[in-house]
Amino acid sequence: MSINAKRAEFLVQQLNVLLVDDNAFTRKLVRGLLNNIGVKAITEAGDGIAALEMIRQAPPDVIILDWEMPLLNGPELVRIVRSPGVFPVPDVPIIMLSSHGERWRIVESVKLGGNEFLCKPVSAKALLDRLVSILLKPRESVHFAGYYGPAPRQPTPTDRHDSKPAA
């Protein structure tokens, strides 16, 4: 096991995760996955309103947030949390979770300030990958043009499809 892998494993075990989903069965499944990858401290909320109160009382290290919920849905909750000066912890990393993987939802999640996006059914590996990304490659929060959230990822040379090979 590499030093980075050992560090990631240690950091994942230290996480305090808030899992927000209106479906109790989904919460149970995701809780099991989190336990399997080493997360020990997991708090659950069945709706966005309860989640806001939990975040205010005991800010988590990461929020895993369902997109579609009654009362206060995932995007609405992200807008509230990502309000510096209004909300006490606007920088908390957020992983959006949805049964729907349409491109517009992923783009909207990024525009709202989500750190990561996962489609249900979620796997332990995908969940671990997103948590490790948040822990080992943290992005500072930025505020510009009405946006508050993680700084955009910088593309790597392999991400650029328009680049031409060097002569």
Which phi and psi (to 5°) does residue 165 adopt? -60, 145
Parent domain of 109: 3-159
Three-class secondary structure of residue 22 per DSSP: coil
* Number of compact structural domains in the chain: 1
pTM for this prediction: 0.89
Nearest to 20 by CA among 98, 80, 91: 98
pLDDT band at 124 (very low <50, low <70, confident <90, very high): very high
Question: Is the pLDDT confidence value at 157 over 70?
Answer: no
Whether 167 maps to a domain, the answer reads no
Q: Which residues 6+ apart lie within 8 Å of 75 measured at CB?
A: 67, 108, 109, 112
Residue 164 lies in a domain: no
4 pLDDT band (50/70/90 cuts)? confident
